[in-house]
């Protein structure tokens, strides 16, 4: 089964958060799909965690190296359709990129992001994920 996964679901795996085991369980034997922007989002999130002194330089770099080992199929998004979703549901365009792809490819969405889950429910997408 293909699953569209977002940065909020991947980041806990990369930095060993408690929800890591649940995410690994939900993705076992699945193919992961994500927008082509995902590596940039992960890099930005790791840099933010470093700036907030949550991660060391070494841990941030190591986490990104681990991210690069995850087999992902990166897909381009339709930005115009994503913008329509972002405007309709008052969410960030980056979040709408995930929703646009999940909707277009009819994929379940694995996210821990509350506003994205709410918009996904409104779009009648199948949602996977742990606690919000």
**What pLDDT, on the 0 to 100 scale, is given for residue 132?**
45
Please determine, for residue 130, whether its predicted confidence score (pLDDT) is greater than 80: no
Q: How confident is the model at residue 104 (pLDDT cuts 50, 70, 90)?
A: very high
Please determine, for residue 6, whether its predicted confidence score (pLDDT) is greater than 90: yes
pLDDT in tens, 24-60: 999 999 999 999 999 999 999 999 999 999 999 999 9
Task: Read off the CATH number of the domain in which 119 is found.
Answer: 3.40.50.1010
Count of domains observed in the chain: 1
**What pLDDT, on the 0 to 100 scale, is given for residue 121?**
95
Domain that holds residue 59: 2-128
**Six-digit token string for 39:** 């590596």
């Amino acid at each position: 089964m293909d699953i569209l996964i977002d940065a909020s679901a991947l980041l806990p795996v990369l930095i060993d958060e408690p929800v890591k085991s649940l995410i690994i369980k939900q993705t076992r034997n699945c193919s992961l799909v994500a927008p082509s922007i995902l590596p940039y989002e992960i890099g930005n999130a790791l840099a933010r965690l470093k700036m907030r002194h949550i991660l060391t330089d070494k841990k941030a770099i190591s986490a990104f190296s681990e991210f690069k080992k995850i087999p992902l199929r990166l897909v381009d998004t339709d930005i115009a359709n994503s913008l329509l979703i972002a405007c309709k549901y008052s969410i960030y365009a980056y979040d709408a990129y995930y929703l646009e792809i999940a909707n277009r490819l009819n994929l379940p969405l694995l996210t821990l992001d509350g506003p994205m889950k709410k918009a996904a429910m409104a779009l009648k997408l199948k949602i996977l994920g742990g606690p919000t």
